Amino acid sequence: MKTMKRILAGALALTMTVALASCGGNKDGGGTTESKDTGKDLDSAAKEQIAGLQDQLEDIDLANKTIKWMAHYDINPSGGAVKAPGLELFEQKYGGKVEYVSTTWETRYDDLATKVMGKEAPDFFPASDMDSFPFGAIRGMFEPIDDYIDLNDDLWASTKSAADKFMYNGSHYVAVIDVAPNYVCIYNKSTIEAEGLDDPAELFANDEWTWDTFGDMCREFTDAESDKYGLDGYWYGNAISETSGVPLIGMDDTGHLVNNMSDPNVEKAQDFMYELGKDGVMFDRSSNGWSTRGDGTTGEGLGSNLTLFIPAGLWAIQAPLETTAPFGDMEAGEIMFVPMPRNPDSDTYYISSRVEGYHLCLGAPNPEGFAAYMNCLMVSRDGAADITERTYTDEYKWSQEMIDMMHTVSDMARENPVFDFQNAVSSEMNTVMQSVSQATMITGGGATTWTQCRSSYETSVDILIDEINEKMGSEEAAAE
Same domain, 262 and 236: yes
* Residues 320, 327 contacting (CB under 8 angstroms): no
Same domain, 361 and 378: yes
Q: Considering only CA atoms, which of 92, 56, 19, 6 is closest in space to residue 391? A: 19
Please indicate, yes or no, if residue 29 is contained in any of the structural domains.
Answer: yes
Peptide bond into 77 cis (omega under 30): no
Same domain, 166 and 299: no
Same domain, 382 and 343: no
* Residues 164, 172 contacting (CB under 8 angstroms): yes
Domain CATH code at residue 275: 3.40.190.10
Q: Which of 370, 391, 415 is the last residue of a domain?
A: 415
Same domain, 44 and 117: yes
* Burial environment of residue 179 by CB neighbours within 10 A (0 to 12, 13 to 18, 19 or more): buried
Count of structural domains, the chain: 2
Same domain, 152 and 209: no
Same domain, 174 and 188: no
* Burial environment of residue 299 by CB neighbours within 10 A (0 to 12, 13 to 18, 19 or more): buried
- Checking DSSP bridges between strand 171-172 and strand 167-168, what pairing results, if any? antiparallel
Residue 202: CB atoms within 10 Å: 12
Please indicate, yes or no, if residue 455 is contained in any of the structural domains.
Answer: no
User: pLDDT value at position 253?
Assistant: 85
* Residues 336, 324 contacting (CB under 8 angstroms): no
Tally DSSP H helices, then E strands, for the chain.
Answer: 16, 16
Q: Considering only CA atoms, which of 439, 437, 413 is closest in space to residue 423? A: 437
Residue 400: CB atoms within 10 Å: 9
User: pLDDT value at position 443?
Assistant: 87
Element (H, E) at 124: strand 124-126
User: pLDDT value at position 78?
Assistant: 83
Residue 396 backbone phi and psi in degrees, to 5: -100, 0
Please indicate, yes or no, if residue 254 is contained in any of the structural domains.
Answer: yes
User: pLDDT value at position 474?
Assistant: 54
Please indicate, yes or no, if residue 299 is contained in any of the structural domains.
Answer: yes
Same domain, 141 and 170: yes
Please indicate, yes or no, if residue 83 is contained in any of the structural domains.
Answer: yes
User: pLDDT value at position 333?
Assistant: 97
Q: Considering only CA atoms, which of 381, 401, 88 is closest in space to residue 393? A: 401
Residue-range definition of the domain harbouring residue 94: 10-181+353-415
Same domain, 339 and 358: no
At residue 408, what is the residue type? T
Please indicate, yes or no, if residue 311 is contained in any of the structural domains.
Answer: yes
Measured distance CA(336)–CA(186) in Å, rounded: 6
Q: Which of 383, 415, 447 is the last residue of a domain?
A: 415
Length of the chain: 480
Q: Which of 388, 415, 442 is the last residue of a domain?
A: 415
Same domain, 92 and 126: yes
Same domain, 339 and 223: yes
Please indicate, yes or no, if residue 325 is contained in any of the structural domains.
Answer: yes
Element (H, E) at 181: strand 175-181
Residue 255 backbone phi and psi in degrees, to 5: 85, 20
User: pLDDT value at position 36?
Assistant: 53
Measured distance CA(206)–CA(193) in Å, rounded: 18
Q: Considering only CA atoms, which of 268, 269, 304, 266 is closest in space to residue 283? A: 304
Task: pLDDT tens for the chain, 480 residues: list them.
Answer: 333 333 333 333 333 333 333 343 444 455 655 555 568 899 999 999 999 999 999 999 999 999 999 999 999 998 778 899 999 999 999 999 999 999 999 999 999 999 999 999 999 999 999 999 999 999 999 999 999 999 999 999 999 999 999 999 899 999 999 999 999 999 999 999 999 999 999 999 999 999 999 999 999 999 999 999 999 999 999 999 999 999 999 999 888 999 999 999 999 999 999 999 999 999 999 999 999 998 888 899 999 999 999 999 999 999 999 999 999 999 999 999 999 999 999 999 999 999 999 999 999 999 999 999 999 999 999 999 999 899 999 999 999 999 999 999 999 999 888 999 999 999 999 999 999 999 999 988 889 999 999 999 999 999 999 999 998 775 554 455
User: pLDDT value at position 296?
Assistant: 81
Same domain, 227 and 149: no
Q: Write a three-state SS string for 209-263.
A: CEHHHHHHHHHHHCEHHHCEEEECCCCHHHHHHHHHCCCCEEECCCCCEEECCCC
Please indicate, yes or no, if residue 177 is contained in any of the structural domains.
Answer: yes
Measured distance CA(188)–CA(61) in Å, rounded: 50
The residues with which 184 forms a beta bridge, in sequence order, are: 312
Residue 352 backbone phi and psi in degrees, to 5: -60, 125
* Residues 337, 185 contacting (CB under 8 angstroms): yes
At residue 210, what is the residue type? T
Rama region for 424: left / alpha / beta (φ>0; ψ in -120 to 50; rest): alpha
